[in-house]
Amino acid sequence: MEKSLSLLKQIQEQFEVKAQDVRTYSPLVLAYIGDAVYEQIIRTILVSEGNQTVNGLHKKACNFVKAEAQAKMIQNLMEELSEEEQAVYRRGKNAKPHTTSKNGTVADYHKATGFEALVGYLYLEDKMDRVLYLVKAGMETLKQ
C-alpha cells in the first residue's frame, strides 16, 4: 500500500509552493501558521466526539486554544523539548507581537506565542508526528 503524502507536501505539490528554510522565518510567522495547525487539531478532536452545536464546540475549543491553556501546556512540556525546539519556543516567546490576549496575562500570551511558533516550525519541517505527540502530551497536563 502506498503511503499518502502529508498535507504540507500535498499543498506544496498542488500549488507549486517551494519549500523554504523555516529557520529564516520570523517567530511571529511561525506562530501564525502554528496557531492554525493547533486549532485544526483541537477542532478535529472535538468534532470527532460527535455532532454538537457550533457554539458548544467553540466553548470547548476555547479551553484549549486560550493563551492560559497553551502557556500551561508548554511549561509542562519544556523538559521534553529538544534544544532546537526550545530555541524555537524562546524565539517565539520573546517576539514582540502587535496584539495581546483579551483575557489572559501578557506572560501567558508570550508563552502561547512561543508554543504556536514551535507548532508552526514543526509543521513546516513536516514533523506532524512530533506536533501531535506534543499536543497530546500537553492536553494531558491540562487534565491534571
Instruction: Report the catalytic residues.
Output: 35
- Encode 44-56 in three state secondary structure: HHHHCCCCCCHHH
Q: Which of 28, 30, 11 is nearest to 19 (CA)?
A: 11
Are residues 111 and 70 in contact, defined by beta-carbon separation less than 8 angstroms? yes
Residues 74 and 112: their CA atoms lie apart, in Å, by 8
Q: How far apart are CA 119 and CA 99, in angstroms?
A: 19
Which ranges of the chain would DSSP assign to H, the alpha helix? 7-14, 27-47, 54-65, 67-77, 83-93, 106-124, 128-143
